[in-house]
Structure 1
């Protein structure tokens, strides 16, 4: 009797284990990562304005094998070759192993990264393969090539912000935020003159594609509920259309630095002009350095890394060469934040 019980127990365990193994289904076995096969490494491209809408070329790569039939998503990204993909731009996401790219797309990427027209620049491309959110992406080795862009006005993608503060007009080009890096992430500053302002985001100057927030949780929902800004003021709006998330933050700006009366200890408050959308301050400065800060805190500060009047978050201090009375303007209602320093 004891032997029979032992035998039955063993048989049950064996069957249970077999069922478990079968329940797991196919096992992912990642083969070689994708490899870009075209264009050839080291290729040279010169883009001219008359060929802006023509083909730059077709990027092709080898497929990734996962050990079973799977729908693989490939993301083709580019960046400056010396950037180590710290700021990649997606050229497209596709379920195939090739992607056609036009000249204007590559040209816009380079200009947005501060490359001047006529300057040969080394770029790098890579392909990231994804099969499932729970499986780590597989990334190709980078491929480098050289591109000479042409000088052109950069047309930044925009996201419209219609709301109660401007008559719910999605076609108002003055109330938009910008995708400065052409990567689906938008940012900008909008003035809400009244408390409890309601607004939404629209992809284009119509209501066809609009986003709200049904749960007031920072997640965007297609055709969702209006978003509410409780207090009046100038808000920084950030939207990531890839992740369908957003954030809003009321900001008040000031000037700080060794050139200011309070040095690095306290901000000199700037005044916002709702007509021009510019923050301004007139004050006496000594020779030294300044930066711009929001909300009397270093969490959001702007400096100028290249002394070219283009502001960057956490950028370098701005030099004031000599003492005097100055008017300083901070301009945040444009795609690339900028400023002016005028000695009176």
Structure 2
């Protein structure tokens, strides 16, 4: 009998504790209608950007918190778009859990140019803040602030690189795009079926990165990895392809291509055609035995004097090692002006770099 009494006392105690806990716990209830928060006005209504201030802060945007009816960590995304586009293709400038954010002059200038706004041309843009607490809850859009911005034409166009399985996730072997224009890129490279990769705007893990979700039209050879890094998977047949990327249209296209060829032809080999090893993109490397004063140039088809040529004129505005000079007249050959010997050399047709490493 005593044991039964003890059990009853214990049972009622447990029920009492559970009741206390339930009464002390507040349930999070989402408001049926979440009101848009307010983006506060910027510090000015008109901005003229300059390259000298590209690393400086453009402005600080501040907004009121979004009220969901309960305390929650809200992920805020700052967006902008050209006025009249109704945020159809917005640019994400920043993500934060705070109520304020800034970004550099260079960042917003780059984004405007990639939207097709010409340097020196004033354009009206709109800013807004997108609030998100959960993928199951609809996004909330703040009020919109409008300003006029005049971007600058950069002296150097921004680059783009591929890093992934085919490059060993090593920036020393990344595929470098040929920059065709602002936000327009092209390269030729080897892609392996099943390989993962993504784009980097600098050769650094801290650089801005672009993945599958950043594009609206993606070539059928590419599929979404669905991983945390938003990687691409190359799902086509292993081989050499030309890839083009457009920021303006948010598109990626790929077409099958032949392996590029390059030949060094000159005094050092009796004007025969010696193949240079293709590394991917516009990069090549080779070894040459050469003496001071010898002249030469590059061709793209073995034994074909009428094929495309790369000579001193092509590289003269790029990067040349100190042991190379040349002429712009006639065949515009290179002239080697170093110590006699056998040396490794590297060529990059995209960046117009040619280095003989003594």
Deviation at 1:167, TM superposition (A): 7.5
Query: Which of 15, 34, 38 is 1:35 aligned to?
Result: 38
Q: Does 1:171 align with 2:177?
A: no
| CA shift in 2, pair 1:121/1:227, >3 Å | closer
Mapping for residues 218-237 of structure 1, pairs under 5 Å: 218-221=224-227, 229-234=236-241, 236=243
Q: Is the 8 A contact 2:162 2:199 kept in 1?
A: yes
Q: Is the 8 A contact 2:160 2:199 kept in 1?
A: no
Query: Which of 123, 141, 144 is 1:142 aligned to?
Result: 144
Deviation at 1:172, TM superposition (A): 3.3
Matched position secondary structure for 1:28: coil
Q: Is the 8 A contact 1:79 1:85 kept in 2?
A: yes
Q: Give the Cα separation in 2 of the matches to 1:102 and 1:211.
A: 19
| CA shift in 2, pair 1:248/1:161, >3 Å | farther
Q: Deviations over 1:180-229 (max 9, x none)?
A: 999xxx98654327x758564475647899999xxx973254699x9675
Specify the alignment match of 1:122 in structure 2.
Answer: 124
Q: Give the Cα separation in 1 of the matches to 2:83 and 2:210.
A: 36
Specify the alignment match of 2:306 in structure 1.
Answer: none
Q: Give the Cα separation in 1 of the matches to 2:148 and 2:29.
A: 41
Gaps of 5+ in 2: 1-21, 212-221, 246-250, 263-280, 283-348, 351-358
| CA shift in 2, pair 1:53/1:72, >3 Å | same
Matched position secondary structure for 2:40: strand
Q: Is the 8 A contact 1:175 1:190 kept in 2?
A: no
Question: What is the TM-score with the length of structure 1 in the denominator?
Answer: 0.51
Q: Give the Cα separation in 2 of the matches to 1:60 and 1:110.
A: 21
Deviation at 1:35, TM superposition (A): 1.2
Q: Give the Cα separation in 1 of the matches to 2:154 and 2:205.
A: 31
Residues paired across the two proteins, number: 225
Query: Which of 78, 86, 93 is 1:76 aligned to?
Result: 78
Q: CA-atom RMSD, angstroms?
A: 4.7
Specify the alignment match of 1:274 in structure 2.
Answer: 260
Q: Is the 8 A contact 1:162 1:172 kept in 2?
A: no
Q: Is the 8 A contact 1:38 1:58 kept in 2?
A: no
- The 4+ residue runs of structure 1 with deviation greater than 6 A are 206-212
Q: Deviations over 1:5-35 (max 9, x none)?
A: xxxxxxxxxxxxxxx9x99932101542121
Mapping for residues 187-336 of structure 1, pairs under 5 Å: 190-192=188-190, 198=195, 200-201=197-198, 205=203, 218-221=224-227, 229-234=236-241, 236=243, 251-252=255-256, 274-275=260-261
Q: Give the Cα separation in 2 of the matches to 1:68 and 1:117.
A: 45
Specify the alignment match of 2:59 in structure 1.
Answer: 57
| CA shift in 2, pair 1:128/1:52, >3 Å | same
Q: Does 1:106 align with 2:108?
A: yes
